[in-house]
Amino acid sequence: MGNASDTSPVFVSTISKEYDLLMGSLYSIFCLLSLLGNCILLLVAYQKWSSLKPAEFFIINLSISDLGMTVSLFPLAIPSSFSHRWLFGEITCQVYAACGVLFGLCSLANLTALSLVCCLKVCFPNHGNRFSSSHACLLVAGVWCYASVFAMGPLAQWGHYSAEPYGTACCIDWHAPNHELSALSYIICLFVFCYALPCTIIFLSYTFILLTVRGSHQAVQQHVSPQTKTSNAHALIVKLSVAVCIGFLGAWTPYAVVAMWAAFGDATQVPPAAFALAAIMAKSSTIYNPMVYLLCKPNFRKCLYRDTSAFRQKMCRGSPQPDQKEPFGSTLQRNKKDASVSTRFSNGHQESQGACLHCTEDGSLCHVSTPQRTACILTGSTYNEVTVSQLPAKLQADLL
């Protein structure tokens, strides 16, 4: 594969070596952050899979598409940037470009579907309350099919893939519309159905949501909050979705502007450095989604904190140090043995080892991971088991 790239002039970088080194360095940082953030987000989602809301399915799908883009693009773009030329030949260039279009369009279509779901739940609650996880899965499948149509088009000779104008990566051939009608039709359809239409839907959806919120705060509280009134989960999803959409569109809009300039104007007048800068911003979109949701969504953040705390406690139990304070669970077990007293729950069942691994910092509230969804409450010096539904609303929100 390397011989083709050595002989073709389109695979030679047209920007300075300093710019290529900067691109390679930035791509390396984006790759590490994206791998770390998206893998953690998917792990947290796996841990709380049974309690995911339908709208959160799109967050998970967005993370999958971002991870796909990271794995398929960065390992090829980074060494090519540092080498000042595309290293992997024509066939790999076609695959690289198809993956970039597939995962990029999937992310945009996913955000469009998410905005519609948020609008449906807030502005049309009678219909939104019927939206289920199965509906979300169908929409997610539709998102991938929609993106696949446009990603496979150039491979079927509707449009073309080629090297980027700056030479160290591949994407759609933006010069082809200047001299080929089929390529022009592909670019027009791509712009209308994969940029202008999704952006319009996203803008209108969140505009309707804003008008609904301003028009009736009481109605929004009723529509957005779950029936248990424990949290404003859907309202938070709306806010975070807006943040992700702004970040994603902000990252991809410069590339769309430069691409349209090349496709519908004089392509020779577009500086390669403009494409390079726009590509850097576009690839940075892979890190926004996990940053927003892991840092700003309480239940994701609590789940991550709970898992890391449990891991630290297990590590401490595995290699205890004489001068370290024992974890709460270990202290409780040792005190039980010293007192020779078997602590029992209110239902008469003896406490199982590790039942209190997920306590709050003061040790007063623990989540017991059983199918019965129970919790244990510290009353005096003993723990009593209760069902989660019997707890106050605020404590239910903390646990769930």
Domains in the chain, please, with CATH?
2-304 (1.20.1070.10), 328-399 (no CATH)
User: If you ran DSSP here, which 8-state letter would residue 164 be given?
Assistant: -
Under 8 Å between Cβ of 10 and 264: no
- Residue 382 bridge partners (DSSP): 379
For the chain, the farthest-separated pair of C-alpha atoms sits apart, in whole angstroms, at 88
Cα 210 to Cα 355: distance, rounded to the nearest angstrom: 44
The SS3 assignment for 225 reads coil
Neighbours of 274 (CB within 10 A): 17
Determine the pLDDT at residue 232: 55
User: If you ran DSSP here, which 8-state letter would residue 192 be given?
Assistant: I
Cα 373 to Cα 225: distance, rounded to the nearest angstrom: 21
- Segment-wise mean pLDDT, segments of 10 residues, the chain, 400 residues: 57 92 95 93 84 85 94 96 93 95 94 89 82 91 95 92 92 84 91 92 88 64 46 65 84 90 83 92 88 70 62 58 47 43 38 42 46 55 58 55
Determine the pLDDT at residue 210: 82
Sign of the four-CA dihedral 356, 358, 359, 361: positive
Residue with the two structure tokens 């609590």:
302
Determine the pLDDT at residue 119: 87
Pairing mode of beta strands 170-172, 382-387 = unpaired
Pairing mode of beta strands 170-172, 161-163 = antiparallel
**What is the phi-psi region of residue 229: left when phi exceeds 0, alpha when psi lies from -120 to 50, beta otherwise?**
left
Determine the pLDDT at residue 370: 46
Under 8 Å between Cβ of 328 and 356: yes
Q: What is the pTM of this model?
A: 0.71
Cα 352 to Cα 333: distance, rounded to the nearest angstrom: 10
Helix or strand holding residue 183 (H, E): helix 181-191
**Going by C-beta distance under 8 Å and a sequence separation of 6 or more, which residues neighbour residue 347?**
385
Q: Phi, psi (5° rounding) for residue 37? A: -65, -50
Residue 155 vs residues 2, 80, 86, 162, 248: alpha-carbon distances, Å: 21, 23, 20, 11, 26
Under 8 Å between Cβ of 40 and 290: yes
Under 8 Å between Cβ of 105 and 150: yes
User: If you ran DSSP here, which 8-state letter would residue 155 be given?
Assistant: G
Pairing mode of beta strands 374-379, 170-172 = unpaired
Q: Phi, psi (5° rounding) for residue 322? A: -60, -35
